[in-house]
Structures are given as structure tokens and as C-alpha cells.
Amino acid sequence: MRPVRALMLMLCLAAAATVRAADAPPLFTLHEVGHGVWAATSAPTSKAGSNAGFVIGNDAVLVVDSFEDPAAARALLAAIHARTSLPVRYLVNTHYHLDHVAGNGVFRDAGAVILAQHSVRAWERTENLKFFGPGITPAQKAMVQAYVLPTVTYRDGVDIDLGGRTVLVQVMPGHTGGDSVVMVPDARVVFTGDLFWNHSLPNLIDADTAAQIRTNDAFLREHPDATFVPGHGEVAHAADVRAFRDYLVTLRQTITAAQARGEHGDALQRDVLARLKRDCGHWDYFGYFAASNITQTVAELAGHKRRPVPVP
Ligand SMILES: [Zn+2]
């Protein structure tokens, strides 16, 4: 380890704080990734279900995503209150998936306005039902249909002045068709939502992988020196974004090459899986998402993948 790296690691450890309930795995760990800019990263075993974060200005606080579990959202709100007495005025949902919106009510009740790309408002209580499968229980259905919706929506993005700093929210394509990136230019921090997963296989259930590759190329081109807060995985930098982008490229290319050899069905699935395992077998969620990444990308390349219908 080079000395500069050791120093950076020490600084990171000094700024990190772990939030956990008694005898439970940590809900999330806080990292100050820029002055007043915090990432809340959660491990795959955490009930928080995803990453979140917050940005403190001179006048107000903006939160990025609200976790899968309202208890984690309450812990995040408490962590914000421990650091500032400023009002929590905004919550941006990076997309509709339940692991990023289930805690919305906690921030609404604290006085925050919830913002998202305009389709998110329609999809949050409908498209999230599919994650429970055909055996969804009445209680699960009621839970999804009670999710608190964004009340301010935008087509392309929105700039939000927090006092002394402006946060830029920009719609970018790839993960669901309703994805927002939250940028803090003065701190060179980019919250990517699930457009980028750090050393983790992604959920591609709604993805347009060609668009998602283009979006990750844009991250690298436009923010080469940024600190990236992914939707899942640890705080990251350009090399990690490139590794994720390369995974998506490999996934598509390996499927196309297998099809060119005449493979399909189980044989294609087996050979592509073996190829992906070589580079990424140690990534988070490999066992959970690898098989569905292949079948969903086969469908996408064949042009018959079902994706959420954009709201006009
Ligand atoms: Zn997610």
C-alpha cells in the first residue's frame, strides 16, 4: 500500500460512522465524501436494502433515497439531526424501486418535499408489486400501495439551491427508464442511484443495458475525478465505474458470441455464466442476479423485454 493510499484510508475511517440496532448487522455506514456531503452505504445483508445519502447546505438539507426499510430511514434522519439543525427540505428518489423509496414517509413527515423523474410517481405503487412474485400477500400489496409518492416531478432534471451550494439533479437512461443522478459539483460527488453498482451485479429487470453503458461512459467522461456514491456497494471512483461498465459490455458480448455459435437455452446460460464468473464471481449478488442478468439481457437483445411503460 502506498503512503498516500494509507493516509486516504485513515481519513476515510476517521469520517466513517456505523449505525446499527443492538445485536443486528449495521443498517448502514456513513462516510463524509465531501464537506457536508454524506454517503450512507449498506451491505447486502442489511435491512436498509440500498445506499442513500444527504447534502447539507447553508439553509437546508437534501436527502438522496430513503432505503427499503422505514427503520433505516428513521436512523438516517436521526444521523442528519445529529449533524445539523437545518431543515430536511428535499428528498430525491433516484428511481421507483422499493429499496430506494420505502422510507419516503419518514422524510415527508419530517417536512421534506419528495422529488423524482415524472414516471416514478406512477410506477412506485404499481411496478413494485412484481418484486413479490405471483405469491404476493395482501399485506405486501397493501404496503406497496401505501408507499409515499413524490409530489414534485421533472422531465429532464432540476437544480436545487441549498444555500451556498447548488445540487444538480439530472435524468439519465439505463436502469428503469426513470433514473436520476444527483450531483454536488462543489464537492465533486455524484450519487448515481442504480445506474452504477460498485463491484456488484445489478438488478437488470427493467434495464436497457445499451443505454446503461452509455450512461456509465458519460460518468467517466464528465466526472473523471469524482467520488461516486453507487446505488449498491461501497463509495467508488472512476476505476470502479469502468469495471461495472465493462461487466455490462461483457454480458452483452458473451451472449451475442454464444448465439453466433448456435447456442441457446440451457447451453447458452451455462457458458455465459461460466464466463461472467471468471471476472465477477466474487462480486456482491453474483449468486442472486447472474442467471437473471443473462435471461433478461437475452430478451433485451431479442427485442422482447418487458420494461415499464413511460408515463406521457
Ligand atoms: Zn437498488
Domain boundaries of the chain, sorted by first residue: 3-243
Distance from the CA of 301 to the center of ligand 1, in angstroms? 23
Say what the pLDDT of residue 25 is.
74
Q: Rounded to two decimals, what is the model's pTM?
A: 0.93
In the three-class reduction of DSSP (H, G, I as helix; E, B as strand; rest coil), residue 170 is classed as: strand
Distance from the CA of 232 to the center of ligand 1, in angstroms? 6
- The domain 3-243 is placed in CATH, from the list 3.60.15.10, 1.10.10.10, 3.30.360.10, 3.40.50.620, at 3.60.15.10
CB contact at 8 A, 228 and 240: yes
CB contact at 8 A, 55 and 184: yes
Residues with pLDDT less than 70, the chain: 1-16, 20-23
Residue 285, by phi and psi: left (phi above 0), alpha (psi -120 to 50) or beta? left
Distance from the CA of 100 to the center of ligand 1, in angstroms? 6
Distance from the CA of 38 to the center of ligand 1, in angstroms? 18
Say what the pLDDT of residue 19 is.
73
Q: Which residue has the cell 471476472?
A: 279
Say what the pLDDT of residue 16 is.
63
Distance from the CA of 207 to the center of ligand 1, in angstroms? 12
Which residues, in sequence order, are CB contacts of 20 under 8 Å at separation 6+? 26, 27
Q: For the stretch 176-201, what's the b/e string if a residue is b when 16 or more beta carbons lie within 10 angstroms of its beta carbon? A: bbbbbbbbbeebbbbbbbbbbbbbbb
Quickly count helices (H) and strands (E) in the chain. 10, 13
Say what the pLDDT of residue 21 is.
62
Say what the pLDDT of residue 7 is.
39
